[in-house]
């Protein structure tokens, strides 16, 4: 039986486990999804002592809602994930403009490195919050 690498991170909720009183952890696909969200929502320079980690996606949301900005968001997501999330390979990435809701629908599909699982699909919506 083949063995696959497992991934384990702390949960961002910082809740304690009801039985062990340790912090709750997330594993495998949930850990990677949490990491992707954290990387994309972190602005560069926001993390102390690690000024290069993060992306410019949040800054690009305040640019005009057009296809050029959508292409820049797609490029920034690809650059950020390929640089800082070595556990995945991006299979498909689409940035679809949503003029009615004033934002972008992001469709991300990726494979986990070292596993023969099906690609993982993640859909999320990016919009301005101010």
> Domain of 107: which CATH number?
3.10.450.40
Q: Which of helix, strand or coil describes residue 69?
A: helix
Residue 36 CA to residue 96 CA, distance in Å, equals 19
- Measure CA 38 to chain center: 6
Q: What are phi and psi of 66, to 5 degrees?
A: -150, 180
Confidence band of 29 (pLDDT split at 50, 70, 90): confident
Q: What are phi and psi of 105, to 5 degrees?
A: -90, 125
Residue 116 CA to residue 52 CA, distance in Å, equals 31
Residue with tokens 């991006």: 90
pLDDT on residue 1: 44
End-to-end CA distance of the chain: give it in Å, rounded. 51
Domain membership of residue 2 (yes or no) is no
Domain membership of residue 3 (yes or no) is no
Domain membership of residue 101 (yes or no) is yes
Which tokens in the block code for residue 96? Answer: 């679809």
Asked if residue 32 has pLDDT above 80, the reply is yes
Tally the domains of the chain. 1
Domain membership of residue 60 (yes or no) is yes
Digit-coded pLDDT (tens) for 54-102: 999 999 999 999 999 999 999 999 999 999 999 899 999 999 999 999 9
Read off the pTM: 0.83
For residues 41-69, one letter each, b for 16 or more C-beta atoms within 10 angstroms of the residue's C-beta and e for the rest, the string is ebeeeeeeeeeebbbbbbebbeeeeeeeb
Asked if residue 13 has pLDDT above 90, the reply is no
Digit-coded pLDDT (tens) for 101-124: 999 999 999 998 887 788 999 999
Confidence band of 31 (pLDDT split at 50, 70, 90): confident
Domain membership of residue 15 (yes or no) is yes
Domain membership of residue 64 (yes or no) is yes
Which residue range forms the structural domain that includes residue 62?
8-127
Domain membership of residue 95 (yes or no) is yes
């Amino acid at each position: 039986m083949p063995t696959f690498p497992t991934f384990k991170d702390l949960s961002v909720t910082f809740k304690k486990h009801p039985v062990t009183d340790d912090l709750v952890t997330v594993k495998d696909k949930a850990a990677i999804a949490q990491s992707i969200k954290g990387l994309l929502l972190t602005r560069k320079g926001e993390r102390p002592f690690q000024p290069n980690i993060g992306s410019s996606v949040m800054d690009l949301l305040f640019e005009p809602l057009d296809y050029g900005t959508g292409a820049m968001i797609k490029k920034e997501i690809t650059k950020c994930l390929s640089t800082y999330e070595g556990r995945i390979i991006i299979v498909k990435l689409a940035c679809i403009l949503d003029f009615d809701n004033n934002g972008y629908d992001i469709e991300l599909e990726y494979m986990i490195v070292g596993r023969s699982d099906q690609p993982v699909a993640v859909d999320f919506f990016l919009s301005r919050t101010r």
